[in-house]
Structure 1
């Protein structure tokens, strides 16, 4: 499945919460695909204060004081959605998607070990340790099976968890999954990322700077090393859950040939390409990604 044209600007509950803790109930339009404005930036940087129906929670997971940004349960009976961030970032840039999803699904956005507001361990986790951490997180929250979305490096972690623990994954969304074998090196990935920065909305920059500061540059570098040494193909062929591969049509990190290869490796996967969006499709095209997730989950809900 491919989206061939941008959708009209939808109305959404996206709105900045007051610092007192009460989120505004006035609707706010989500920006068109490829855009990211000051309202989204304020929401992204709000934690641990409540905003737009999202709150922060700290629990001990696998021995680490772990931060999770979460929504309330909308009472629809739909499965929880767990969003997993990429290697240099945190829950912050996934906030627009979390808000867009929260009208229908309970949404959880944990910070992985060493990132965002979660405690920093002394080493940078590889894909296997991050997947084990997510399994422990799900046990702590007594959740599962969930709809699991991983973006960029988070897609590698999500693929490993879905392959190793199919009992925990109701459906899988691989958003901008890394890394393309044609550029599976630190230099190759960094070069593509530099190209992507020219295609992204500039207002995302403060989030990246804050996230890199929280994680520390050495952890980002070490996690990138783990990423390029991870052969995601071995996990993709073991995935049993219904799977969606979604990417921005202008994504230089995950070009069309690689995302199509990912979809071929996963049994019965479907694909969505979002016009106007680059690598941060989960950030800059939350309405389109939400629509794609609903299409993925609706048949399963009917069944």
Structure 2
């Protein structure tokens, strides 16, 4: 990631990587399923105009170490992120999660509230009504032509690094892992970002999450597909920075 600095720290015996760029108050980006820090360069560049941005690689993703048996469920991702935040000693920090990363940051806010000051969930997964893994894969195939061609190479590299077996096990865990019951325990300001051209996470999904987070703010981005953090980085950053300023975070 150009104009950034690689930071590697041990967390529960695994070397955990993040790219850091910018100055100011911290903000952590949490990638989606199989994704890696290098897929969020465009968003990090925009956010770093006002914030010190940490683009975290979950274990077994990007440049972070994993094990064959770890992570294989969403609670592994949640607990590791919480442990990394404690090691980094950032205090209560805003978290921006994309797709499965949105589900993970909601989990962290519910289960480790002292570590989180605010949430930005972009096209978040995590409700019981999410479709089967097969249907999600079909929706992803529909989404691919809508994405920026320049993301294909970095995306394939990230998915190869994570591995099909790990990604499938994490995706299957979504069918039993329900963020819904945890939403009532979230006590921090929350922004939900909805890509209006996203066939993977439909607008009704975002509205369904908001039902259990009545104080959450929903912003829609016209024309944005599932990887809205890459195709519409200025819009995502603009909504995020405005939200953080208004909430004093």
The interval holding the TM-score normalised by the smaller chain is over 0.9
- The question of 1:119 aligning with 2:69 is answered no
Q: Deviations over 1:9-65 (max 9, x none)?
A: xxxxxxxxxxxxxxxxxxxxxxxxxxxxxxxxxxxxx4xxxx1x3111111112101
Q: Deviations over 1:252-271 (max 9, x none)?
A: 11111111111121130010
Question: Retained in 2: the 8 A contact 1:178–1:253?
Answer: no
Q: Which structure is higher in helix share? A: 2
Question: Retained in 1: the 8 A contact 2:122–2:194?
Answer: yes
Q: What is the 5 A alignment of 1:126-137? A: 126-137=73-84
Identify the residue that residue 73 of structure 1 maps to in structure 2.
Answer: 23
Structure 2 SS opposite 1:228: coil
Identify the residue that residue 58 of structure 1 maps to in structure 2.
Answer: 8
Q: Which of 96, 104, 114 is residue 42 of structure 2 equivalent to?
A: 96
When normalised by structure 2's length, the TM-score is 0.95
Identify the residue that residue 28 of structure 1 maps to in structure 2.
Answer: none
Q: Which of 61, 83, 87 is residue 33 of structure 2 equivalent to?
A: 87
Question: Retained in 2: the 8 A contact 1:247–1:278?
Answer: no
Q: Distance in 2 between matches of 1:129 and 1:284?
A: 29
Q: Which of 165, 177, 180 is residue 230 of structure 1 equivalent to?
A: 177
Question: Retained in 1: the 8 A contact 2:148–2:230?
Answer: no
Larger deviation: 223-232 or 169-178? 223-232
Question: Retained in 2: the 8 A contact 1:178–1:254?
Answer: yes
* Count of residue correspondences: 248
Q: What is the 5 A alignment of 1:279-290? A: 279-290=226-237
When normalised by structure 1's length, the TM-score is 0.78
Structure 1: 5+ residue stretches without partners: 1-45
Identify the residue that residue 156 of structure 2 maps to in structure 1.
Answer: 209
Question: Retained in 2: the 8 A contact 1:54–1:99?
Answer: no
Structure 2: 5+ residue stretches without partners: none
Identify the residue that residue 200 of structure 2 maps to in structure 1.
Answer: 253
User: Rg bigger for which structure?
Assistant: 1
- The question of 1:138 aligning with 2:88 is answered no
Q: Distance in 1 between matches of 2:139 and 2:129?
A: 11
Q: CA RMSD in A?
A: 1.5
Q: Deviations over 1:277-303 (max 9, x none)?
A: 10001111111111111221112228x
Per-residue deviation at 1:184? 2.5
- The question of 1:173 aligning with 2:123 is answered no
Distance 1:179 1:153, change over 3 A: same
Q: Distance in 2 between matches of 1:279 and 1:180?
A: 17
Q: Distance in 2 between matches of 1:300 and 1:93?
A: 28
